[in-house]
């Protein structure tokens, strides 16, 4: 994927349907942004930093295609900060929902065979 293709992917994934919307949100003249996205002109690291921040992608991915597109660590921090800002009753409600969603993925305690359980209880 080329630089301009990654820019377009980042824009779309960030929820900007058009290049016009993205240019306005970033504060770049539309012809400049359109040239960056259609590949007719490249862009330097300083613009790449602005685009990466606005579209919430990793700068390294945007500029070179290296690594994952999203920085999951900062996404998790954002989620935790949002969670911490909720009132305590809502935090508990959300925590219950998360526990229920996570339940199928939790490691279950191994079930002891009846003979092992009997031997353990008689030795106590």
Mean pLDDT check: name the lowest of 22-26, 57-61, 91-95, 117-121. 117-121
The predicted-structure confidence for 14-39, as pLDDT tens digits, reads as follows 999 999 999 999 999 999 999 999 99
Q: What is the mean pLDDT of residues 54-80?
A: 88
The predicted-structure confidence for 72-109, as pLDDT tens digits, reads as follows 777 778 888 888 999 998 999 888 888 888 888 877 66
Q: Is residue 86 part of a domain?
A: yes
**Residue 99 belongs to domain spanning:** 72-104
Q: Is residue 113 part of a domain?
A: no
Q: Are residues 55 and 83 in the same domain?
A: no
pLDDT at 4 over 90: yes
Global pTM? 0.62
pLDDT at 123 over 60: no
- Taking alpha carbons only, the member of 30, 27, 1, 25 closest to residue 11 is 25
- As a whole number of Å, the end-to-end CA separation of the chain is 65
Q: Are residues 50 and 7 in the same domain?
A: yes
Residues sharing a CB contact under 8 Å with residue 37, sequence separation 6 or more, in sequence order: 4, 7, 8, 11, 19, 22
Q: What CATH number should be reported for the domain holding residue 38?
A: 1.10.260
Q: What is the CA radius of gyration of the chain?
A: 24
Q: Are residues 58 and 82 in the same domain?
A: no
Q: Is residue 118 part of a domain?
A: no
3-state secondary structure 39-93: CCCCCCHHHHHHHHHHHCCCHHHHHHCCCCCCCHHHHHHHHHHHHHCCCHHHHHH
């Amino acid at each position: 994927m080329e630089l301009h293709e990654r820019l377009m992917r980042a824009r779309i994934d960030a929820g900007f349907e058009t290049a016009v919307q993205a240019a306005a949100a970033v504060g770049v003249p539309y012809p400049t942004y359109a040239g960056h996205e259609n590949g007719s002109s490249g862009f330097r690291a300083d613009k790449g930093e602005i685009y990466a921040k606005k579209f919430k992608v990793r700068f390294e991915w945007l500029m070179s295609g290296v690594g994952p597109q999203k920085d999951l660590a900062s996404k998790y921090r954002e989620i935790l900060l949002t969670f911490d800002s909720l009132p305590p009753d809502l935090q508990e409600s959300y925590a219950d929902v998360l526990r229920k969603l996570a339940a199928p993925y939790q490691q279950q305690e191994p079930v002891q065979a009846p003979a092992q359980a009997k031997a353990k209880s008689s030795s106590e």
